[in-house]
Structures are given as C-alpha cells and as structure tokens.
Structure 1
Amino acid sequence: MASNLDTTVTVFGGSGFLGRNVVRALCKRDYRIRVAVRRPELAGHLQPLGRVGQIHAVQANVRYPASVEAAMRDSQVAINLVGILAEGRGQTFEAVQVKGAEAVAKAAAAAGAQMVHVSAIGADKDSTSGYYRAKAGGEAAVHAALPSATIIRPSLLFGPEDQFTNRFAALARFSPVLPLVGGGVNRLQPTYVADVARVVADAVDGKTKAGATYELGGPEVLTMREVMEIIQQITQRDRMLVPLPFGLAKFQSYFLQFAPGAFKLTPDQVEMLRADNVVSEAATAAGLTYAGLGITPDSMEAVAPQYLWRYRASGQFQKKSA
C-alpha cells in the first residue's frame, strides 16, 4: 500500500490564513507539501508545521500560467486557496479568482492530478457583488477544465488570524459605536478554519465525491447583530450597535475603501452583506456538508474566546463583571 509520503500536494496560496491550517492538516497525514506562493521567502513560518523536508515553498503566481505549470510538475494533487477580498494593484477578481483558478485547474489536468478548489458560499454568477460573481466564474472554469475537481464553499471563516472576528474586536477597542450595515439582519454561518482545513485534507484522502460541491457552515446560523454581540461579550466591551442603511454604507465605502486596517470597507463588501451566507437546503439534502462527511464543526462561541481575550481592556487578566 502506497504511503502518503509518496504523494506531493501543491497548495496554491498555502501561506495565508486558511492555507497554513490546510498545510498543518496535510502534514499530520504525512503528505509531502509544495507551497506555491508569490513570495516563497516569506513562507518560512510554515516550516514548523511539518517534519524536516516535508514542506517546500516555490514561487508561483496564478496570474502567470507558466509559473503554475512549473509548480505542479510531478505533483499528484493541486489545492487552490488563492483569493482576494478587495481589488487593487493589478489584482482583480477576474484575474485572480476566475483566470487564476482556471490556470490551476488546467495545470492539474495536464499533470493528471486531483484538484480541490476552495470557493465560497454565496458564489453566484448573478450576484451584485463582484467577489461572488468571480467565485462562481472560478468554479465554472475549474469544472470545465477538470470535471472531477472537488469544490468546497465555506461560509465566513473564523480563527486566531482571521479578518472577521479580529476586525470587529479591534474596532470595539477604539470606537464607541459599531455600525450594522443593512441593520445587521443578514444571516451568517461562521465556520472554524481548522474544520474547513480538515475537509480539504479529507478531499485529498479521497473521502469526498469527485466533481461535487460541498458547502460548509458552522453549527449556528447567526445574524450579523448576533455575531457582534458575541464578540462584545467575549471581549467584555459594551459598544452601541447602530444600524447603517445600505445606501449610506455604500456612499461611505467609496471613501473607506482607502482606509487602513479594520476601518477599510469597499463598495463590493457592502454588496456582499446584502445576501445571507448560509448552507443551502440543496447541499444539506444531498449530504454535501459537514454532516455528510461525519464531522461536527466547532462553534464560534466555543473557539473565539481562545484568541479574542487579547482585545479585553486588561487582556487575559480582565476580571469578569459581576
């Protein structure tokens, strides 16, 4: 029986938030990991996740198919995690999330390799969000080039280095009010990044259905208001949650798209908040979810306190209020 040590998995975008969790999960299963990133010299933080020589970083940019083909050489599996939340400096949704995904799929097909492509719940060719339209375009391009590819659509990811819970916890440190775009009534199903990484690794193991699209959402469906309340409870902050109409939020976003860090808000991100971000009934009925894979996902309330404590006024030493 062949060992996983004989299988090379090329992870495109392996140095990012989801990427490092996927690399960790694959290392635990003894795969050989090739991390394909634009700046391999900045991927040294991945080395402690595996044994000596198990992880190797190479240069690749999904906007340049030749580099993608080189990264896939002698690899048996391709995982595409590359994505952007905002456009800029030549990085467009079309170039990265459609053409880039297509380049990876074509390189995998040429190499006779298996492919796992991570998209997002909300991917829709008719969406008002350019991000979601590009995600749908990427899925279509991947299946056209490699019909057997497994597509994974997670809801919003949370975890120690996320840009979701950390963003709002950071805002609560400085701002007396927190805006709720559209009133905060849109529904989310936040999912723990390590759970998604486990599904990606399961797909590499061959535990998912070829050509299927899986939707991954956490154990709770929450409104944005409820998410903000949970974050405030964990960080022991008491900020006023103020509804912000979509029209006003869209207007402000034209200026805030140039703001730094947690204050940044783009017009497309406002559009993303118009729709719910939850697992569909069709995916649930087809068993293309965590439950279908026999996985019980962790909740945000169970995991987030492990890393959001640093946003409390006195950190981990903050006393609980009576």
Structure 2
Amino acid sequence: MSFRYRVATVFGGSGFIGRHLIKRLAKTGTVIRIATRHPSSANFLRTNGAVGQIVPIAVDIRDDASVAAAVRGSDIVINLIGILYESGVNSFKGTQAEAPARIARAAKAAGAQRFIQISAIGADAKSKSAYARTKAAGEQAVREAFPEATILRPSVVFGPEDGFFNRFAAMARVLPALPLIGGGHTKFQPVYVGDVADAIMKALASAEAPGKTYELGGPRVYTFKELMELVLAETKRKRFLVSVPWSVAEFQGKVLGKLPKPMLTEDQVELLRSDNVVAPGAATLADLGISPTAAEVIIPTYLDRYRIGGRFSQRAGYGT
C-alpha cells in the first residue's frame, strides 16, 4: 500500500481494534502517537515499529489543550475510543459525543489530512439506548467539525481479545446455561477485527473514502441463539440455552449494572432489542475492496482454550 502520511495520532490505540491497527500502520513507516490516559498501557505496541516510531502519549480527552497537543503536526487522526457502559467520569456523552467533537475540531485546526471515526452499527439519534444516541451524536459532531472524515460503523467485532465470544465462552465454563435475552432472536453480523483494521487502512489510502460512512459486517448474519450455539460448538461444551424475557432482562440489567464491571446493563438490554446488521444500500467492506472473514474461520483459533482440558485437548466430543 502506497502511503504519503508521516505522522498519525490514534486515540484509544492500545485497545482491541487499536493493537491490530497499529501493526498495519507501522509497516507504512508512519510515526504513530498512541493517545491514551495511561501511556504505560501502550508500551507493548512499541515493538511493532522501529525505535522511536511508536510513541504512547498521555491525553485527557475532556481537555481541549490536551487533545490539541496530541494532534499537533499530525497528517492522520483516528478515534477508536468507545465504552460499553458508564463508569465514574466515563459517561457515554463525554466519551462518545463530546470527545469525538473535541478531537475532530483539534484535528481540523491542526491541518490533518484524514480523520477516521469508529462508530457502530445502530448509531441512532432517536434510539432509547444512550450508547446508540451518543454514537450518533459523535458522528454528527465529527461531520460538522471535519466534513471530510470517514466514519466506520462495525457490527460486533470479534478476534482473540474480543469481549463477546470470550465472555460467553468463559460463562460456559462455570454456568449450566447461557441466557438468550428476548428469546435470542436479535440478529448480528460479526466482523473480524483484522478486517476492521484493514478497512481503516484502505480508507486512509482511498480517494473515495473522505466524507463517506461505511457499515462493516461479516459474510453471515446470525441470531443471538446461533452465536451461542457456535460458542458451545467451538468450546465443545453442552449447556442449556435459556430464554430470558425482556422484562426479566431489564431487571437483571438494572441490578448488574451497579457492579464496577457489569456483565449486563439496562442500556445493553435496550440495544439488544434491535438487530445489529449492515443496512440495505450502505457502503460496506466490499466497497473498500475487502472480502469479510467468516467467524467460523477465526474463532476456533482462540476459543479452543476454553475447551475441557485446555487448548491442546484432543477430546472430540462434547463435555460438561
């Protein structure tokens, strides 16, 4: 891939998508600033580039001056920051609406040539979910501040460090049943993290991507129930799949949502009421020249560690 950019600032670069993106971006020779609250948490990424090429820097996304300093002199600015639940000062509004606006304004003022905003399928200003509303607000703010920005909306992202398949595989280790909220009928189109990282790279190199929004989904649509069945098949465990009515799920979300790291919140239950698939007519991975990777190809490479006896167990049948 031919690349003319010299300096990139990646907000949230030490996270799930970021670690896959940094590897690809470093190969272009671009100097990379990983903007994060805790720079030491990004030190493991330094080895993906030459000495001094990858530099973790401290940033406060709530502070204009801090953000401006992080993007100063950058050709590329990429915002990967997002949260699945609110905690302490990390609110949906502050993280997913106000921060993207602040970053986009600073990037435009700094003269950045490209801006990539990672949003999510389901971003909707009219949604009852605060997560979805603030994702939409973040998109709008980015468009207003940096009209040429490229917005990428992935469905559920999977890969070795994901918080979806790993979570349910871990639950299957200790629980006799897995929950099917609302009966497990909600549809998803899981997308491989490597494809998302490739989409960012393609968008940066494309003359067509500025100003466009792409929805990123895998090659197949699954119901939530089918995804739980896939988890059980790959981990070779027998577990009941129990339908949980919406009213019960809402109560569980209200209670569990008070925990420091909740497994379920009311807002997540609200999100599950809507399908999470690529919209008809949307620009997709194919428009970026990417053939999406099937979940069945990737998840066996990391869910095998949840099998009885561990990763190298040769047991072929289902266990307990």
TM range (shorter): over 0.9
Q: Is 1:306 the counterpart of 2:305 in the alignment?
A: no
Tell me: CA distance 1:260–1:87, structure 2 relative to 1, closer, same or farther (3 Å): closer
Tell me: CA distance 1:308–1:208, structure 2 relative to 1, closer, same or farther (3 Å): farther
Deviation at 1:259, TM superposition (A): 4.2
Deviation at 1:61, TM superposition (A): 2.0
Query: Residue in 2 aligned with 1:59?
Result: 58
* Further displaced range: 95-104 or 53-62: 53-62
User: How far apart are the structure 1 equivalents of 2:200 and 2:106?
Assistant: 19
Deviation per residue, 1:105-151 (Å, 9 max, x gap):
00111011120000000000011110000000000000000110000
Query: Residue in 2 aligned with 1:248?
Result: 248
Match of 2:171, SS state, is helix
Query: Residue in 2 aligned with 1:124?
Result: 124
* TM-score, with structure 1 as normaliser: 0.95
Deviation per residue, 1:194-218 (Å, 9 max, x gap):
1000111112223542110000000
Q: Please tell me the residue identity of whatever aligns with 1:84.
A: I
Query: Residue in 1 aligned with 2:106?
Result: 107
Query: Residue in 1 aligned with 2:223?
Result: 223
Q: Please tell me the residue identity of whatever aligns with 1:321.
A: G
Q: Is 1:268 the counterpart of 2:267 in the alignment?
A: yes
Q: For 1:56-95, what aligned pairs fall within 5 Å after superposition?
A: 56-95=55-94
User: How far apart are the structure 1 equivalents of 2:202 and 2:26?
Assistant: 13
The answer to whether the Cα contact below 8 Å between 2:189 and 2:221 also exists between their aligned partners in 1 is yes
Which of 290, 295, 303 matches 1:295? 290
Match of 1:178, SS state, is strand
Which of 301, 316, 319 matches 1:320? 316
* Further displaced range: 168-177 or 51-60: 51-60
User: How far apart are the structure 1 equivalents of 2:3 and 2:173?
Assistant: 49
User: How far apart are the structure 2 equivalents of 1:72 and 1:242?
Assistant: 48
The answer to whether the Cα contact below 8 Å between 2:3 and 2:205 also exists between their aligned partners in 1 is no
Q: Which has the higher helix share?
A: 1
Q: Please tell me the residue identity of whatever aligns with 2:121.
A: I
Match of 2:77, SS state, is strand
Q: Is 1:7 the counterpart of 2:2 in the alignment?
A: no
Query: Residue in 2 aligned with 1:36?
Result: 35
Q: Please tell me the residue identity of whatever aligns with 1:9.
A: A
Deviation at 1:313, TM superposition (A): 1.1
The answer to whether the Cα contact below 8 Å between 2:39 and 2:57 also exists between their aligned partners in 1 is yes
Deviation per residue, 1:64-118 (Å, 9 max, x gap):
1211100001111100001111011111111110000001100111011120000
User: How far apart are the structure 2 equivalents of 1:297 and 1:29?
Assistant: 23
Deviation at 1:40, TM superposition (A): 0.6
Deviation per residue, 1:159-187 (Å, 9 max, x gap):
01110000000000000011111111010
Q: Please tell me the residue identity of whatever aligns with 1:316.
A: R
Q: Please tell me the residue identity of whatever aligns with 1:252.
A: Q
Q: After TM superposition, which residue ranges in structure 1, 4 or more long, deviate above 3 angstroms?
A: 258-261
Aligned residues: CA RMSD: 1.4
The answer to whether the Cα contact below 8 Å between 1:118 and 1:151 also exists between their aligned partners in 2 is yes
* Further displaced range: 312-321 or 178-187: 312-321
Unaligned runs of 5+ in 1: none
Unaligned runs of 5+ in 2: none
Tell me: CA distance 1:8–1:258, structure 2 relative to 1, closer, same or farther (3 Å): same
User: How far apart are the structure 1 equivalents of 2:110 and 2:297?
Assistant: 42
Tell me: CA distance 1:208–1:36, structure 2 relative to 1, closer, same or farther (3 Å): farther
Q: For 1:139-288, what aligned pairs fall within 5 Å after superposition?
A: 139-259=139-259, 264-283=263-282, 288=283
Match of 1:281, SS state, is coil
User: How far apart are the structure 1 equivalents of 2:275 and 2:308?
Assistant: 33
The answer to whether the Cα contact below 8 Å between 1:259 and 1:265 also exists between their aligned partners in 2 is no
* TM-score, with structure 2 as normaliser: 0.95
Match of 1:43, SS state, is helix
Number of residues of Structure 1 aligned to a counterpart in Structure 2: 315
User: How far apart are the structure 1 equivalents of 2:174 and 2:138?
Assistant: 38
